[in-house]
Amino acid sequence: MESVMTLPCSFLSLLLALLGAAACGDVVAGALAVPADPLFDLEAIMRDPVETVRLDSETVEGITFQTIEFTSRSVGDRAERIRGIYAFPAGGSRLPGIFWSMGGMAAANRTFPGLFAKRGWVCLAITLPHEIRSSFRSPFLTTDPWEANLTLLARDQLRAITVLSQQPEVDPDRLAVAGASYGGFFATLIAGVDPRIKAGMSFFGGGWHERGTALPQFLQMASLEDVAIWNRTIDPAFRLRSRSIPFMWGVALNDHWFHFPAVIQTFLDAAGDDKRVIIVPHWQHGFPPAVDETLTRFLDTTPIAPRPIPSYNRPGPVRIRAENGHLMAAFDWGGERPVREAELVVSYGEIAP
């Protein structure tokens, strides 16, 4: 199919949902290849006992919600215990699982676990232990990045994925990660770090923070040398250059938290041919409801979904030619989904913000 539009202008921008597959790994533990990582001891994250306890259970409209507690790590003789909200279709077993990373690193609630459980997934979200992580108050500790705030917060969530993978309701070979804002940061990071993750999605967050971010952990660092350490340790972008899984980012063009150049470069760098991005002009740190739905439904288009639906269509590159004093632009797209509308979005003037 082709869409053609007359453009009497000199600046054209196309907001595309584009495309990116093959995992890397070099240390074999059991049946799973565990990749070497500069920041995370994946062997310990996957194998150390989590000592999971289910504290309560309630079934509402066919969805069972439980509070789960587990050990993130032990420091000396003290176990760091974390709680989360666990949701699944009542009576379900061997279903695909999603780890949901909370927006704003807020306390876990039932909203997204319940949403995904209604679609046939098992979902876990956790409450991060900010009181022992210095989560917001301190810069990323480049002198000891293995013990830095964001590293330990990511490790807490990787341990939660270990918990998720061990539950009887879950098929451990079909795991995904998703999150919003800070959760999008962590979802991008975890997708690159964890070989158990087979698909992912991010509202807002990505990598390449040197290209624009409001994260205090980044902005409080003192030097470009610190930024270089960030880029090769905690930044979410670089691992996905060599690890390909289906992944979708959503970015608002005027987002003041995760700036457009940073998120779009994360997308462009990601490997493989099953990556997508949805770009929303004029919006800041939020999306219209239809975009929320598009993002949350993306995981249902992946092969690990409970009931996979057709993949999102793939728009091709813009072709521009001069004709009768005008610029003519055209693009193609492919895919199984019927197309109701296709348009080119033209931006005049200086790029903002």
pLDDT at 167 over 70: yes
| pLDDT value at residue 1 | 47
Asked whether the beta carbons of 213 and 251 are under 8 A apart, the reply is no
pLDDT at 17 over 50: no
| pLDDT value at residue 33 | 67
Asked whether the beta carbons of 212 and 129 are under 8 A apart, the reply is no
Examine residue 333 and state whether it is found in any structural domain, yes or no. no
* Total of domains in the chain: 1
| pLDDT value at residue 34 | 75
pLDDT at 312 over 50: yes
Q: Give the other-Cβ count within 10 Å of 273's Cβ.
A: 11
Examine residue 142 and state whether it is found in any structural domain, yes or no. yes
Asked whether the beta carbons of 186 and 154 are under 8 A apart, the reply is yes
Examine residue 29 and state whether it is found in any structural domain, yes or no. no
Across the chain, mean pLDDT equals 89
- Give the CATH number, domain containing residue 209: 3.40.50.1820
For residue 16, what are its two tokens?
A: 């595309």
Q: Which domain holds residue 177?
A: 39-302
Examine residue 14 and state whether it is found in any structural domain, yes or no. no
Report long-range pairs for 166-169 (Cβ below 8 Å, ≥24 apart). 166/50, 166/52, 167/86, 167/97, 167/122, 168/93, 169/88, 169/92, 169/93, 169/94, 169/95, 169/122
Confidence of residue 31 (pLDDT cuts 50, 70, 90): low
pTM (predicted TM-score)? 0.88
Examine residue 48 and state whether it is found in any structural domain, yes or no. yes
| pLDDT value at residue 16 | 35
Nearby residues of 143 by Cβ (< 8 Å), 6 or more positions away: none
Strand order in the sheet with 197-203: 53-60, 63-75, 78-89, 122-126, 95-101, 170-180, 197-203, 247-252, 275-280
Among 18-22, 172-176, 318-322, the range scoring the smallest mean pLDDT is: 18-22
For the chain, what is the HEC assignment? CEEEEEECCCCCCCCCCCCCCECCCCEEECCEEECCCCCCCHHHHHHCCCCCEEEEEEEECCEEEEEEEEEEEEECCEEEEEEEEEEEECCCCCEEEEEEECHHHCCCCCHHHHHHHHCCCEEEEECCCHHHHCCCCCCCCCCCHHHCHHHHHHHHHHHHHHHHHCCCCEEEEEEEEEEECHHHHHHHHHHHHCCCEEEEEEECCCCCHHHCECCHHHHCCCCHHHHHHHHHHCCCCHHHHCCECCEEEEEECCCCCECHHHHHHHHHHCCCCCEEEEEECCCCCCCCHHHHHHHHHHHHHCCCCCCCCCCCCEECCCEEEEECCEEEEEEEEECCCCCCCCCCCCCCCCCCC
Confidence of residue 212 (pLDDT cuts 50, 70, 90): very high
Nearest alpha carbon to residue 164 among 197, 187, 136: 197
Which tens digit of pLDDT belongs to each residue from 68-108? 999 999 998 899 999 999 999 999 999 999 999 999 999 99
Per-residue pLDDT, averaged over 237-249, amounts to 96
Amino acid identity, position 270? A
Among 37-41, 99-103, 214-218, 328-332, the range scoring the smallest mean pLDDT is: 328-332
Among 18-27, 55-64, 202-211, 252-261, the range scoring the smallest mean pLDDT is: 18-27
| pLDDT value at residue 19 | 31
Determine what percent of the chain is predicted with pLDDT higher than 70. 90
Examine residue 284 and state whether it is found in any structural domain, yes or no. yes
Which tens digit of pLDDT belongs to each residue from 257-283? 999 999 999 999 999 889 999 999 889
pLDDT at 10 over 80: no
Examine residue 181 and state whether it is found in any structural domain, yes or no. yes
Examine residue 23 and state whether it is found in any structural domain, yes or no. no
Amino acid identity, position 48? D
Q: Let me know how long the chain is.
A: 353
